[in-house]
Structure 1
């Protein structure tokens, strides 16, 4: 549906304002979609992001700083989120053998199994494919990269 109909606004100053509003609206729509999927597994979007980062490093441990650098949401408190993942028994934290001041974080089997059971990418792909083609998805991705340019 067109952004004008979604937000009941027919007046934009220009197409740049319209595109900006559309990006913000779409971000919130997509975030709601992701939240609904992840609620089934009782984890947040930020927790999911960290688990995916750790899975990419597995079996090697990583540090909080590396996690912060790779997170999609740079405003998240990675240390606090890792604490919650430790409490949920999805990751393990230990003192780094090379630098006793640092802490190593590694995803455990429970975390890997949880990620295996979350079908977020499949749900998103299915949702997108019903509205846009693969070529359009590539064009959209390229335009968003250019927008952040």
Structure 2
């Protein structure tokens, strides 16, 4: 289905660049929605999942909240608030940084790692379903083009 059909647009886009930007936004929301549906039964938001994955990449070393913020996919997220919610779910622990008492160290727990391991199987299935839509070469090209769009 084309972007025009999906958004029921009857008037042509002004330019191919306008079309691609609308298509990117629409597709980004589509991917986010499908990922959110995958995470909902596990009681996680996309942003919380992103924090857990960042912390798994640091494991077993702690990460500072500022480091998490820098690596977040959604730059508008409040990493401190997200960490607090994950602490309540016992998926991460937060401690005062010994070298800088103003900073906070965050480490993923065994429960957090186990949850991510379960989610990995769902993520792999989702990825495999997408592999039927693009060849590996197309995925590489699309990724390169998206990288180019973000260059200034």
Question: Which residue of the partner structure matches residue 141 of structure 1?
Answer: 143
Deviations 1:68-127 (A, max 9, x none): 000000000000000000000000011111122221110010000000000343133122
Question: Which residue of the partner structure matches residue 23 of structure 2?
Answer: 22
Cα distance 1:111–1:72, how it changes in 2: closer, same or farther (>3 A)?
A: same
Q: Do 1:55 and 1:112's aligned partners in 2 also have CA atoms closer than 8 Å?
A: yes
Q: Do 1:38 and 1:120's aligned partners in 2 also have CA atoms closer than 8 Å?
A: no
Write out the 4+ residue segments of structure 1 that deviate beyond 4 Å after TM superposition.
Answer: none
Counterparts of 1:96 and 1:121, CA distance in 2: 33
RMSD: 1.0
Q: What SS class does the counterpart of residue 40 from structure 1 fall into?
A: helix
Question: Which residue of the partner structure matches residue 4 of structure 2?
Answer: 4
Larger RCO, structure (CA 8 Å, separation 6 or more) = 1
Gaps of 5+ in 2: none
TM-score after normalising by structure 2: 0.94
Counterparts of 2:101 and 2:136, CA distance in 1: 48
The yes-or-no answer on 1:132 pairing with 2:134 is yes
Question: Which residue of the partner structure matches residue 45 of structure 1?
Answer: 46
Question: Which residue of the partner structure matches residue 87 of structure 2?
Answer: 86
Q: What SS class does the counterpart of residue 37 from structure 1 fall into?
A: helix
Aligned length: 149
Counterparts of 1:25 and 1:102, CA distance in 2: 38
Match for residue 125 of structure 2 among 123, 126, 131: 123
Counterparts of 2:71 and 2:63, CA distance in 1: 11
Counterparts of 2:8 and 2:82, CA distance in 1: 37
